[in-house]
Structure formats: C-alpha cells, structure tokens
Structure 1
Amino acid sequence: MLSDANNVSEAGGAMPPATVRVWDPFIRIFHWSLVALFAIAFLTGDEIEWLHLWAGYAIALLVTLRLLWGFVGPRYARFSDFVRGPTAVWSYLRKALRLDAPRTLGHNPAGGAMILALLGLLIGLCSTGILMTTDTFWGSKMLEEIHEALAYATLALVGLHVVGVIFASIEHGENLVKSMLTGRKRPL
C-alpha cells in the first residue's frame, strides 16, 4: 500500500511531472559544441593554424546563431527570459553567497550576466581573429596580443562559469550539467 506522501498530487488529481523540458536541442548542441570548439581553438593556437582557424570560424557561426536564437528561440533560450540589470545580478549573487538564492528553471540572473559576458568575449575573439586574416591587419602584433588576451579572459570566465554551475548545483541540490545534457530539470 502506498503512503500518503507517495500519493501527493496537484489540484484536480493530476500528478506533477518529475521533470520539465527547459533546454531545447539547439541550446544543448550549441553549448557542448562551443565547449569542444573553444578547447580546440585554444589548444591549437599557433601550432595547427588551419584547425585553429576552422574552429574559430565555427565558433563565429555558433555565436551568430545563438544571438538569433536569443530572440526567436523558445522561452528559456530568449534573452528576455534571463537578461537582468546589474542590481538584480548583484542581489542574486549576495543571496547565493548566503545560500538563499531562489532556484530558477532557466538561467538565474548571474548566469544570464555570464552568458552576455562570454558572448561578448567570443564576439571580440572572432572579430580579432578574422581581422588578422585580412591584408590590413595581417601580422599585426597589437591585434594578436588583443586576440590572445581575449582568449585568456574567456578561459578565466569559463572557469568562473564552471565554479558557478557547481556552486548552484550544490546550493539547489540539482545536477545542472545533467540538465544541459538531457534538457530537463525538476519543476519549481
């Protein structure tokens, strides 16, 4: 016989779903493809130039598609769902440090800020990379140094992103890496 705790249901007798779809296939493919391509581009650098260039072009294409998807994609992919102002981001971070931040289905305000920062750095990386292939900027040491600085800044933000994902996963008792693989999270 089932206990009353196992018979919990929503109003009307319907059982709540165990998980809900949050991340659509494009977002998941974009995310993990970007992880792989950035690693390839970062690790090849000057060593395997043709591979570095192709990884960079692929990143530029992915970022362009992600920007478009941020306006036309499903709810949790849209910038309007997760981009918040600085006050909301700092408020969320203060609450998170007290382990009192609200759980969200989509990106939390800090995650939204991280997405914007990473996209901005990737746009800068791709732009400087492409410019270095033009006649005007071919061999430009200054542009090469900017490109390299942007790559290391991106790597630092990736590290901060991973720390944030681990922290939020622990704080909310939820495997966020798994949700980016399956696209599903438990409902609020």
Structure 2
Amino acid sequence: MTTPATTTPDDATRPVRVWDLPTRVFHWLLAAAIVGCVITGQVGGGAMVWHFRLGETVLALLVFRLLWGFLGGRWSRFASFLYAPATVWRYLRGGSRPDEHHEVGHNPLGAFSVWAMLGLLAVQVGTGLVADDEIANLGPLNRFVETATGLAATSWHKGPGKLLIIVLVLLHVAAIVYYLVKKRVNLVRPMWHGDKPLPAATPASADHGGARLKALLLALLAGGLAWYVGSLGT
C-alpha cells in the first residue's frame, strides 16, 4: 500500500509576478515599433517621416531596456538571463538545476533570442542614424561620418539588417506557436498580465508603485536622449 504524496507549501503553485509592468509595456511598444518601421521603410516616400520617428522610438526603447536591465524587476534584469556556457549545456541536456529557475523568465534558448534581437536592433538603429540613401533621406548623425561609411550603413540597413530582424521576429512567433501547440504553454499571457503559475517559493519581480515611478523617470530620460539625437539632423 502506497502513501499519497503530500503537497508542501513550497510545492503548491500560485500566480507569481514575473514580468513587471515596465517590461511588458516595453515589449509591446517595441513589437509595434518594429512592425511600423518595416512597413514605413517598405512604403518609402512620405512614410519615411514616420520611419524616422519610429526608429527614434526604438532607440528610446533600447536605451530604456539597457537601463532597466540593471534596475528593473528580478526577471527583467540581464543577470537573470546571462547564462554561462555550462548552464546552457546542462539545459540542452535536460539537466537544469531547480535553483536555476529556467521555467520562470527567459530560458537559455529564449535568452539567446533576446540578446540577438537587442543586438541586431542596436545595429539597425545605429546604421539608420548615419544612413544616406542619396535621394531624400539622411540620418541625423550622417554628417558625423565619412560618405563611404554612410553608404555602407545604408546598404546594411536596407538589406541584411532588415532581413535578419524579420527572420528573428518570425522565429520568435514560431517559438510561441510551438510552445502553445506542442507544450501547451502560453508565453503570451504572462507577457500581457505579468504573472505565471509557479511554485509558491519562486521569487517574484518587484512591480510596485516605486518601481513603476523609477521606470517612468528612466523612460523620460531615454526619450529625451532619443529626441536629442534626432534633433541633430535638423
């Protein structure tokens, strides 16, 4: 005769705040800005005014995320998804340790996707700021670089850079669908509501009024910096 397993308080699940509000707002604004940049860049003409505005929005968002990666909630901080090679190898072999909490925030593969996206977007914004299409559009920082540098940046921005970002976005969407269909895990809901059902002992991200006020001040700083950079071209 077997004894029924007992559930300790640490084993019981409860909603745990994983993604704080500033991270969620950043995520959805970035997604909208990327889509808008791709569309306006493809349309060209008068839409390029909005392409530049959305590009500066992406710049502001990236600056904010850089700051929030050090000052944000626990699972939004870079330290929570900056994995050593040994940790990644354990994860790929299915031998992750319980204290690594890979089921909470970004697992090692998800972290790789995040780092790749942030890095590519930084390069894309940087090349856009110094771009020169030799027709009617000039990046606000183009006057600070050599002509050849501006033309090379334009070539990357309109070609490989844009293509790589589109591919990464499609892979991101495909991963979400895969987790939903194959693993019955909804990755969108936590990024919308902030919570995941997790063991009660799982540490949560700070998401109180003070943290949100700090995020607002950082967002204003990032937005002011992006506006200043954009104004250098006028």
Match of 1:164 among 163, 175, 179: 175
Match of 2:26 among 30, 34, 55: 30
The one-letter amino acid of 2:120's match is L
CA distance in 1, matches of 2:173, 2:89: 19
Unaligned runs of 5+ in 2: 95-100, 132-138, 200-234
Q: CA deviation digits over 1:53-108, x for unaligned, max 9?
A: 0000000000110011111111100111111134543553465xxxxxx8611110
Say if 1:42 and 1:90 are closer, same or farther in 2 by CA, change over 3 A: farther
Say if 1:187 and 1:170 are closer, same or farther in 2 by CA, change over 3 A: farther
2:174 pairs with 1:178: no
Say if 1:18 and 1:166 are closer, same or farther in 2 by CA, change over 3 A: same
TM-score (norm 2): 0.66
The one-letter amino acid of 1:175's match is N
Unaligned runs of 5+ in 1: 96-101
Structure 1 vs Structure 2 CA RMSD: 2.6
1:91-170 equivalences in 2 (<5 Å): 91-93=90-92, 95=94, 104-132=103-131, 133=139, 134-135=142-143, 136=145, 140-148=150-158, 149-170=160-181
In the alignment, is the contact (CA less than 8 A) between 2:102 and 2:108 conserved in 1?
A: no
2:16 pairs with 1:20: yes
The one-letter amino acid of 2:64's match is L
Q: Cα offset for 1:168?
A: 3.2
CA distance in 2, matches of 1:59, 1:84: 26
In the alignment, is the contact (CA less than 8 A) between 1:103 and 1:172 conserved in 2?
A: no
Say if 1:169 and 1:107 are closer, same or farther in 2 by CA, change over 3 A: farther
Say if 1:93 and 1:158 are closer, same or farther in 2 by CA, change over 3 A: farther
Q: Secondary structure at the match of 2:14?
A: coil
Q: Cα offset for 1:150?
A: 1.0
The aligned counterpart of 1:39 is 35
Q: CA deviation digits over 1:132-156, x for unaligned, max 9?
A: 2122467943221111221210111
The aligned counterpart of 1:99 is none
1:42-121 equivalences in 2 (<5 Å): 42-45=38-41, 46-47=44-45, 48-89=47-88, 91-93=90-92, 95=94, 104-121=103-120
CA distance in 1, matches of 2:35, 2:156: 19
CA distance in 1, matches of 2:127, 2:38: 14
TM-score (norm 1): 0.81
**Higher RCO (C-alpha under 8 Å, 6+ residues apart):** 2
In the alignment, is the contact (CA less than 8 A) between 1:27 and 1:77 conserved in 2?
A: yes
Moved over 6 A (4+): none
CA distance in 1, matches of 2:50, 2:75: 33
Say if 1:49 and 1:90 are closer, same or farther in 2 by CA, change over 3 A: farther
In the alignment, is the contact (CA less than 8 A) between 2:15 and 2:196 conserved in 1?
A: yes
Q: Cα offset for 1:172?
A: 4.3
The one-letter amino acid of 2:151's match is K
The one-letter amino acid of 1:187's match is L
Q: Cα offset for 1:174?
A: 2.1
CA distance in 2, matches of 1:155, 1:92: 27
CA distance in 2, matches of 1:158, 1:93: 23
Q: Secondary structure at the match of 1:179?
A: helix
